[in-house]
């Protein structure tokens, strides 16, 4: 079966792995920007996660002259009101670029809150583009949990998804990064649902571009 090339539109290794999971078993050949000799990422200027995901997908699809899949997401914290913006989840702590610093800063912000006030959810947008044109896009709200009271015993070796080490689901007694695929599905997880949408699109609607 012919494998259609598709660019994983991110330089973040954690996000690259996550995008690959959406494409498993499809007749596609995923490649990273590094593998294709591409280096520059676009500035994220969109006002919504969907705008940013589409911006990333179109930029990388033009740069690689191919299909590209991109996503953008963020943490939703109702208790913080206008003091928190999901679009800036990755950058809210300022210059430090390590997950542990971000974890401790988030826990400081949430320290005054108790019980249901610590509610947290996730919003994720995904876009697929071809040579600068968006073919399809989605934005989904994820499951509802809480921000844990304590930091994790240790962050993963790579901390691109640092939030998931403190996003807790008391009914399961686990944090997001500890959940099994079955447990994620039981929570109506955003990434699980996006995988279904991507699989359905490529199996039922996508037409292989003509070179």
Neighbours of 103 (CB within 10 A): 21
Series of mean pLDDT values for 10-residue runs along the chain (211 residues):
87 92 96 87 83 95 91 96 90 70 91 96 97 96 95 67 92 94 93 96 86 57
Residue 1, pLDDT score = 54
Predicted TM-score (pTM) of the model is 0.91
Q: How far is CA 27 from the centre of its chain?
A: 22
Q: Is 72 a catalytic residue?
A: yes
Residue 174, pLDDT score = 95
Residue 93, pLDDT score = 67
Residue 164, pLDDT score = 92
How far is Cα 192 from Cα 194, in angstroms, rounded to an integer? 5
> Which structural domains are found in the chain, ordered by start?
4-204 (3.90.950.10)
Question: Which of 72, 97, 188, 189 is the catalytic position?
Answer: 72
């Amino acid at each position: 079966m012919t494998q259609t090339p598709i660019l994983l539109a991110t330089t973040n290794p954690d996000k690259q792995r996550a995008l690959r999971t959406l494409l498993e078993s499809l007749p596609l050949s995923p490649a990273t920007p590094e593998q294709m000799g591409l280096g520059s990422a676009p500035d994220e200027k969109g006002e919504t996660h969907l705008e940013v995901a589409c911006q990333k997908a179109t930029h990388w699809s033009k740069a690689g002259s191919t299909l590209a899949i991109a996503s953008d997401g963020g943490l939703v914290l109702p208790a913080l009101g206008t003091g928190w913006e999901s679009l800036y989840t990755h950058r809210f702590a300022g210059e430090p670029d390590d997950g542990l610093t971000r974890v401790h800063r988030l826990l400081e912000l949430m320290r005054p809150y108790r019980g249901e006030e610590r509610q947290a959810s996730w919003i994720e947008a995904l876009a697929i583009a071809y040579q600068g044109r968006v073919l399809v896009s989605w934005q989904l709200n994820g499951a509802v949990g809480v921000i844990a009271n304590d930091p994790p015993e240790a962050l993963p070796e790579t901390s691109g998804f640092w939030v998931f080490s403190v996003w807790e689901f008391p009914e399961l007694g686990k944090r997001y990064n500890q959940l099994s695929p079955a447990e994620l599905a039981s929570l109506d997880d955003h990434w699980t649902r996006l995988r279904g949408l991507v699989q359905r699109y490529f199996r039922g609607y996508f037409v292989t571009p003509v070179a």
